[in-house]
Structure 1
Amino acid sequence: MSSFHVVEELVLAWQTAHSVARGSPAPVRDRGGFRVDTDSETEVKRWVFPGLCEGLSEIAHEIAAPRHYLKLCGSDEQLRSALPGRWQIQPANYFMMSAAASVERRPLPEGYRIEVGRTGTVVLARVIAPDGGLAASGYAAETVDAFVYDRIETAPDHRRKGLGVAVMAALSAAQRSPATPQLLVATADGRGLYASLGWTVLAPLACAAIAES
């Protein structure tokens, strides 16, 4: 079983900027990981751990209620080994980093246009389809320690047209400090897109939750 452990400062930098992008509370240190007290309708708390540790297992054994999430920079097998049976492994994601200073801009298909707006340190890019509908969108948030991409999405009817890359390029152009590392968490489907843009996987990001009764 492969072992992963991402530098905790990098995980904290990602989680901090991710919370900014989502309007969530800032993460706090908790038993070897970072906890976000989201208290939303879909999530009570979330922990992200840079590597496997006793604190993860302690928390997993304490919690019996749904809407709590444990995430580990590691494999599904590693995370499963630390959990009691009531926890269920969720679809895997990937913690990724880019060494490129920016994403190359490419022409949009005919009739499409892109809009970019900023609220504080959060940037929103939207691709509008010829019929006026939303074709693709994404967010980014910048802190002193990271520039994080979040919720890069393309509507099913508009995929395979380069719109996701256009969103990434527009967000990348809004970065104020080129020296700040660019980070994101990708789904299995999104991983290929980001890899084609020069991103590398730092570690799988395994996730577990307790099902609603």
Structure 2
Amino acid sequence: MIAGARLLFAHLHLSLMTSSRIDPKLVLAWQAAHSIGRGSPPPVLDRGGFRVDTHSEKETKRWVFPQLCDGLRAVADEIVAPRHYLKLCGTDEELRSALPARWQIQPINYFMLASAASADTRPLPDGYRVQVDRVGPVARASVFAPDGELAASGCAAETDEVFVYDRIETAPAHRRKGLGVAVMIALGAAKRSAATPQLLVATDEGRSLYATLGWSVLAPLAAAVIPELEPPR
């Protein structure tokens, strides 16, 4: 695992108050692996949450808070510019209660843990093939259609603490063929340590798919952003 995240583990204090739903160390481990998978800077501890200074086209900074706290409220009061995201391991209502009106709640996601091995071993449809490529701690699985088109893909990043799945996507023309399941199984096979917890963040729609593969919800993951101002017409 990256050195910065190791130092954060060493400096987590009781003031973080482990939530009854999710351990802050697990949130940090997910955020660290997620950053590796996306090529983002490592997370840093900031007012009870974990901040990533992404500085990407769509996002300037992101905070993930294991629970509602005064630090989240302070960040929400301080930030007035768009492209800053606040995320909370909690409900939309909990997050909304801590935000000034300028913040806009985003669709709810779910923090999930693999609690059982998948029993789904269905074969790929005729003509489809799966390819797995690995560079360092990051694995990528791609499913190609008979004509060579990319039909589904996903990636995973592995650290000493966790194995994190991300960006599991199936092209619209190839859905309902079990390709998302094939991507998950292919990535899982690339996992180097059988003991490492497997984590992901799912949309409301994806939650049902992952539940069939033996995943359980640890906590809802609420998110908010200050929307971009529309240009004058």
Counterpart residue type for residue 122 of structure 1: V
Cα deviation, residue 131, structure 1? 1.2
d(CA) in 1 for partners of 2:93 and 2:87?
12
Q: Give the TM-score normalised by the residue count of structure 2.
A: 0.88
**Which of residues 128, 140, 150 is equivalent to 1:112?**
128
**Quick check: 2:117–2:213 contact (8 Å CA) kept in 1?**
no
Coordinate RMSD, CA, aligned: 1.2
**Quick check: 1:147–1:175 contact (8 Å CA) kept in 2?**
yes
Describe how 1:79-98 pairs up with structure 2 within 5 A: 79-98=95-114
Cα deviation, residue 150, structure 1? 0.2
Residue equivalent to 2:64 = 48
Counterpart residue type for residue 79 of structure 1: L
Describe how 1:51-70 pairs up with structure 2 within 5 A: 51-70=67-86
Per-residue CA deviation, residues 166-196 of structure 1 (Å, 9 max, x unaligned), is: 0000000000011000000001111010000
**Quick check: 1:88–1:209 contact (8 Å CA) kept in 2?**
yes
Percent sequence identity over aligned pairs: 72
**Quick check: 2:118–2:213 contact (8 Å CA) kept in 1?**
no
1:164 aligns with 2:180: yes
Greater RCO (CA < 8 Å, at least 6 residues apart): 1
State the SS of the aligned residue for 2:196.
coil
d(CA) in 2 for partners of 1:107 and 1:161?
10
Cα deviation, residue 200, structure 1? 0.3
**Quick check: 1:102–1:172 contact (8 Å CA) kept in 2?**
no
Describe how 1:25-40 pairs up with structure 2 within 5 A: 25-40=41-56
d(CA) in 2 for partners of 1:170 and 1:180?
16
Per-residue CA deviation, residues 12-60 of structure 1 (Å, 9 max, x unaligned), is: 0100000011000010110110000001111000000000000000000
Per-residue CA deviation, residues 133-178 of structure 1 (Å, 9 max, x unaligned), is: 0100000000000000000000011111100000000000000011
**Quick check: 1:4–1:203 contact (8 Å CA) kept in 2?**
no
1:71 aligns with 2:96: no
Q: Give the TM-score normalised by the residue count of structure 1.
A: 0.96
Counterpart residue type for residue 192 of structure 2: R
Per-residue CA deviation, residues 51-110 of structure 1 (Å, 9 max, x unaligned), is: 000000000000000000000000000000000000000011000001235675431000
Residue equivalent to 1:143 = 159
How many pairs are equivalent? 211
d(CA) in 1 for partners of 2:20 and 2:221?
10
**Quick check: 1:33–1:49 contact (8 Å CA) kept in 2?**
yes
1:154 aligns with 2:170: yes
**Which of residues 184, 190, 193 is equivalent to 2:206?**
190
d(CA) in 2 for partners of 1:115 and 1:4?
39
d(CA) in 1 for partners of 2:200 and 2:184?
11
d(CA) in 2 for partners of 1:204 and 1:4?
13
Residue equivalent to 2:14 = none
Given the superposition, is the C-alpha separation of residues 102 and 147 from structure 1 closer, same or farther in structure 2, using an over 3 Å criterion? farther
State the SS of the aligned residue for 2:185.
helix
State the SS of the aligned residue for 2:156.
strand
State the SS of the aligned residue for 2:173.
helix
